[in-house]
Structure formats: C-alpha cells, structure tokens
Structure 1
Amino acid sequence: MPKLLVTGASGYLGSALASRARDAGWTVVGTVGARPGAAPAGLADVVALDVRDDAAVASAVRAAAPDVVIHTAYVQGTDAPAVNAGGTEHVARAAADAGVRLVHVSTDAIFDGRLPRPLVEADAPSPVTAYGATKAQAEAHVARLCPDAAIVRTSLIYGGPGHDPAAQERPALAVARGERTDMMFYTDEVRSPIQVDDLAAALLEVATTDWAGPLHVGGADPLSRLDFARLIVTARGHDASALRGVAAPVDRPRFCPLDSSRARDLLRVRLRGAREVLGGA
C-alpha cells in the first residue's frame, strides 16, 4: 500500500486530497499547522508541523517515510514569504534528501496575465502580487532542490453544491445574502476555476507519474471573477443580481486562463469547467 504525506491537511484542498487518497487505499499522513482539528478523520497519523522550521520538516518527512509528498500548505498575508517560499524550500530539501517523489501545488498567480492567450507551462513567471511572488519563489526552490518534482499550477479552487463553500465562494455568497455590500468582482481578471475533487484526483494521478516540472491543471472554463461569482451564487439557489463588477486595479493579474492540454493528455481525470459543475452551461 503506497504511503502519502500531505502538508496542509487541514486546508480546503489538503483535506479533500487526504480524504480522497485514504479512500483510494493510500496510507495517509497529514501535517497541520494553525487548524489541527480540521484534518480529515481516518488518517494513519496527523502531525503538527510548522513548515517554517527546516529541521522539523526534515524530521517529519523522515518519520513518515512516505512514497510521495504532496505539498499543499500555504498562507496569504504577512507570513506568506516565510511559509510559501521558505516552507516550500524546506519541504523540497527534505523530499530530495529522503529520495521521495514530490508534487508541489502552485498557482496561476505567478503570472501577470498580460499575454493575449492561455498560459502554457513554458511561460516565465511574472507575478504582480506579493502572494504571487512568494509562490514564484517557491517554484524556484523546488526546481533547484528537487528537479524531478512535479509543480502543479492551478487556479481558483471551489467546492460547489454538496461541499462547504471555499474561500473563493464565501464573499460572493455573502453579497448575495445581503451580508456584505462593499464587495465588487473583477470583470477583466480571467482565471480557470477548478472543483476541489477534480484537483485532488489530478494531484493523486500526477503523484503516480514521473512528470517533472510545471504542469497546468485548471478547469475547462476561462471565467472572469464576476462571471464565476454569479455561477457560485446561482448554484446555491441565490439571486446573482446583487453582484456588481469593476475593472481590476493595475496591481492585479489579468488574463490568466491556464492551458491544461498537457494535463488532459496525461491524466484520466476530467477537468470540468465551472459552468458544468455549477449548472451554468
């Protein structure tokens, strides 16, 4: 039975990934940081870990002795450089030293979105946000320390009906319910939203391949933030008329749909579009 170590197993993606791997027959060890109670039940072990601690990361990987590490842990805000860049450096070094497969989860936010076409794996990172810069640094650490690792770039993660709302869904739902009136949604920031179970399945498949380097794994539909928000609220039975659009400021990425054709050729999982998942087709 293969063994998987999931960093960030208390997060939205990490929890879904750990649960799916457990149900598929993997022995799963999850690491948790700030929310230890949120890890899914039934894992072989749950380990409290601060990825900013290089020695602790190395010790955790040695103790777990996994076949694969999937690194989902990240934060937004002031701790992002230490967690996203520094923490990823520690995870990549530990995986390389242990000789285990690493799948690192990255983001379309490493791009500025100024190209007039979907983004391919060979496009150079060009972040315009502080968060995107930390994730670009993380990719550089992985490529340097663990060149055989897969770097899975993805987009806005959501659950949809039947799932707890993700961070990408909650603001739109709050506006639709009248709980917020100060939120606007960008009309010209275009992304490739992906359903959390589709992404978790894709990550597990990538883990069993020998793919090395970047791989784009996004949903099939390129959508503006406003159009995505409208789909979210309508799918949960709310009126989308309260949602308002605005042009993105200059310090936001713009046209960032991911060209996921390589992933579609490599993987069995179907990377559905948000219109299909949320009923807006």
Structure 2
Amino acid sequence: MRILIVGGSGFLGNELVRRSASDGHVVAATYLTRPGTAAGVEWLPLDLRDRTAVVDVIGGFGPDVVINAAYRQSDWETTALGAAHVAVAVSGTGGRLVHVSSDTVFSGKAITYTEDCVPDPVSPYGAAKAAAETAVQVIDPAAVIARTSLIIGDGGSPHERLVHSLATDGMRGVLFTDDVRCPVHVSDLAAALLELANSDRAGIHHVAGTDAVSRYELGCLIAQRDGLDPTRLSTGRRADTDLPGPIDVRLDCGLTQRHLSTRLRGAREFVK
C-alpha cells in the first residue's frame, strides 16, 4: 500500500512514518521546514497553504491512504484551509483520507464528549480544528476524522520535554491541576490511525487514552518514570489565567474502541 503522511516530520507524523515503513508499505511524508530522519521514506517539502502545491504533491505520489497529521496552532491557514486543500487533493485521486483532529474543538462545558457532540470551540486553534473537520466532512464524506488528546511518548513529546525542563533546568512555569485531558501514547494513536485507514469506517472517531488526568498529575507520572523529583514541579490553576481554550475535556472513546483491535491505554498504565 502507498501511504502519504502529511506532517511526517512532527511527533505523531514520525511515529506514523516509522510504523508504516516497518510494515512494508511504500511511504512518503511531507514537511514544512526540514525533513524527518527515517530512512527508506520519500520526503516531500510542502506548504499546506498552497493549494496547487498540495494537489501536485498528492497527485504526484498517488497514495492509497493519506493521513493528515499536520497543524500549526497559531496559523489558521495551515490548520483549517490546509486541511481542506488536502481533502480536495485526496478526493481527486480516489485515495482514503484520515484527518487528525483535536479535543480542542470542545469548550469543556460538558466535560465528557462522545463522537456525536457538536463542536463549541473557545480558542482560535480549536476554531481552526473545528473548521477543518467541517471542510473534510463536506469534501470527502468517506474520510475518517480522528479526534485525539494530549500525545505522549517515551520521552520525545513536547509535554515530556516541558516536565524535564521544569524539574531539572530551573525553567519557570507551572503545571495546571485543573487542566484535564485523556493523554494517549503516540504508538497507540499511530496504530489506531493506521487501523482506521485500513477499515471501511468513516466520520468522527475519538482516539484518546482511558485515563482523565491533569497536566500536573501527568507531569508527576513522567517525573517518577524518568527518575526526576516531582516536588520540583510547581502547580497552578488554568482557571486563574486568561489563557484561551478549554479546561477539562474528556473524550469518550468507547464507541471507537469497540471497532479497534488496538487497545487505547490510559496514562497511568503507559507512563511507567
């Protein structure tokens, strides 16, 4: 199978590239500023804001499957319009699209969200992600839209690097005790996305971990795993700040999990 990973040089993208290549697929991956390091992969420069370039790259590779894992939190054009450009290009080739979305499409007012809940974003990034979902659904109704949460690995994710900086480098900052998510391990997420790509599923799917934990609790778990002192992690409350975005968002993944053989573990299990 020919698989194209859009945003292949990112944290999730790199895992998708690695797993797809190891499974014997023909893999290409796009990047904006610099290619990834995986060997045996065709690295393609691409700016998602350029619709013509998106159509040319996807049409030129001729993928059976495209997984769009690209985003830029501060850039509406990349996150929203770029997703639409990818959907248009994939629909033109007859390939299968899996679009990675986010729990930031929700405000947190309901706390727990199922796949049929209507997005009500409260941040610019959440609004861009919600717009991207709408565009993908309209352009390619057969596509999978996979909402996920905070992505964690075995040391390489942004949140793990933040915890290390706070615990060892004297970096000033706090981890919120009221900012709750359902973290997912990057390998579980990548496996689930590829499984969905190889299925006949369509529409919204929730792909996150089973444990709802605060950023502070998650930081403590990471610190303990990595031999750091959790008492060096300072705490705060997101509710006491003016940062835009939801506070407590928990994705209910029960429906999606019933269609997956990949088990979506909780953070208290995979951060050890």
Structures share fold, TM-score greater than 0.5: yes
Alpha-carbon contact 2:121-2:245 (below 8 Å) kept? no
Q: What TM-score results when the alignment is normalised by the length of structure 1?
A: 0.93
- 2: CA distance between counterparts of 1:52 and 1:210? 29
Alpha-carbon contact 1:9-1:40 (below 8 Å) kept? no
SS in 2 for 1:132: helix
Q: Does residue 1:135 correspond to 2:135, yes or no?
A: no
What letter matches 2:165 in structure 1? A
Which residue does the alignment assign to 2:38?
A: 40
Alpha-carbon contact 2:126-2:245 (below 8 Å) kept? no
SS in 2 for 1:5: strand
Which residue does the alignment assign to 2:258?
A: 265
Which residue does the alignment assign to 1:220?
A: 210
Name which of 162, 174, 182 aligns with 1:192.
182
What letter matches 1:35 in structure 2? R
Alignment size in residue pairs: 269
Alpha-carbon contact 1:30-1:39 (below 8 Å) kept? no
User: Could you tell me how far 1:178 is from its partner in structure 2?
Assistant: 3.7
Deviation string, structure 1 residues 77-127 (Cα, Å, up to 9, x no partner): 2xx2010001101000111111111000000011111114x2100111111
Name which of 137, 141, 159 aligns with 1:168.
159
Which residue does the alignment assign to 2:87?
A: 92
- 1: CA distance between counterparts of 2:22 and 2:227? 31
What letter matches 2:73 in structure 1? Q
Alpha-carbon contact 1:70-1:105 (below 8 Å) kept? yes
- 1: CA distance between counterparts of 2:254 and 2:238? 27
Structure 2, unmatched stretches of 5+, are: none
Alpha-carbon contact 2:211-2:268 (below 8 Å) kept? yes
- 2: CA distance between counterparts of 1:214 and 1:54? 24
Structure 1, unmatched stretches of 5+, are: none
Instruction: Give 1:52-131 correspondences, 5 Å limit.
Output: 52-77=49-74, 80-116=75-111, 118-131=112-125
User: Could you tell me how far 1:130 is from its partner in structure 2?
Assistant: 1.2
What letter matches 2:211 in structure 1? D
Which residue does the alignment assign to 1:22?
A: 21
SS in 1 for 2:205: strand
Which residue does the alignment assign to 1:149?
A: 143
User: Could you tell me how far 1:62 is from its partner in structure 2?
Assistant: 0.9
> How has the CA–CA distance of structure 1 residues 128 and 235 changed in structure 2, closer, same or farther, with 3 Å as cutoff?
same
User: Could you tell me how far 1:252 is from its partner in structure 2?
Assistant: 2.9
- Percent of aligned positions that are identical: 41
SS in 2 for 1:237: coil
Deviation string, structure 1 residues 111-154 (Cα, Å, up to 9, x no partner): 111114x2100111111111111111111110111111000000
- 1: CA distance between counterparts of 2:169 and 2:229? 10
What letter matches 1:23 in structure 2? S
What letter matches 2:254 in structure 1? S
User: Could you tell me how far 1:245 is from its partner in structure 2?
Assistant: 2.0
Which residue does the alignment assign to 1:254?
A: 247
Alpha-carbon contact 2:20-2:27 (below 8 Å) kept? yes
SS in 1 for 2:256: helix
Alpha-carbon contact 2:175-2:215 (below 8 Å) kept? yes
Q: What TM-score results when the alignment is normalised by the length of structure 2?
A: 0.96
- 1: CA distance between counterparts of 2:255 and 2:19? 23
- 2: CA distance between counterparts of 1:18 and 1:178? 31
Which residue does the alignment assign to 1:234?
A: 224
Name which of 194, 205, 211 aligns with 1:204.
194
